[in-house]
Amino acid sequence: MNKCIFCNKQFEPGKFHVNQKFCSGECRRKRYYQNHKEWIKEMARKWAKRNKERRNELAKKSYEKNKDKILEYEKTNERKKKSDIRRKARYHIKIPKGQLCQICNEELAIEKHHENYSKPLEVMFVCRECHNKLRLKGGKRWQNTHKNVQKHYMWQTQELRILQIH
């Protein structure tokens, strides 16, 4: 029994290869790539530079062959980008201190509202009451379905008012 010098697996050497060091051709190729990585990359860059037309031809063939996979990846990547923008809008767009509600102009704005979620950077700063009016769903107010959240926001609103007064 021999031990592969790349993956450390035990293997039975071939009949004519008693001193075999790798368990498979894949391990041998991986080890070679590890030891010659920079040289291989440099040779690939040189080949690409010398064979621009051939490289473009191969790229077109590859695109045609994998068009469905590429388009699916681009869709998911686009969704990920939008998700990142939403996350940034949620955590990085801060409500300015002393900002009044953009609807009633009476209460302090303590919430952010998106009219259109496909445009996550377009945010309205609104008070809790106006936000609930904006979030009507199927005739039921958002606050009726989430009473615990409502209590938390009421407490938060009172705390903000106290902070603004002092």
pLDDT of residue 27: 92
**What pLDDT, in 10s, does the model give residues 68-90?**
988 888 778 777 777 777 777 77
Cα separation, 39 vs 82, in Å, equals: 39
The pLDDT profile of the chain, 166 residues, written as one tens digit per residue, is 889 988 999 988 887 788 888 898 999 999 999 999 999 999 999 999 999 999 999 999 999 999 998 888 877 877 777 777 777 777 778 888 888 998 888 889 898 887 777 777 788 888 888 888 887 753 344 444 444 444 444 444 444 454 455 4
Are 132 and 111 spatial neighbours (Cβ–Cβ below 8 Å)? no
What are the respective helix, strand and coil percentages of the chain, to the nearest 5?
55, 10, 35
Q: Which DSSP category does 106 fall into?
A: S
pLDDT of residue 149: 44
Q: What angle do CA 122, 124, 130 make, to 5 degrees?
A: 150
pLDDT of residue 148: 42
Are 25 and 6 spatial neighbours (Cβ–Cβ below 8 Å)? no
pLDDT of residue 143: 43
Q: What is the largest CA-CA distance in the chain?
A: 89
CA dihedral of residues 56, 57, 61, 66 (deg, nearest 10): 0
Q: Which residues pair with 11 in a beta bridge?
A: 2
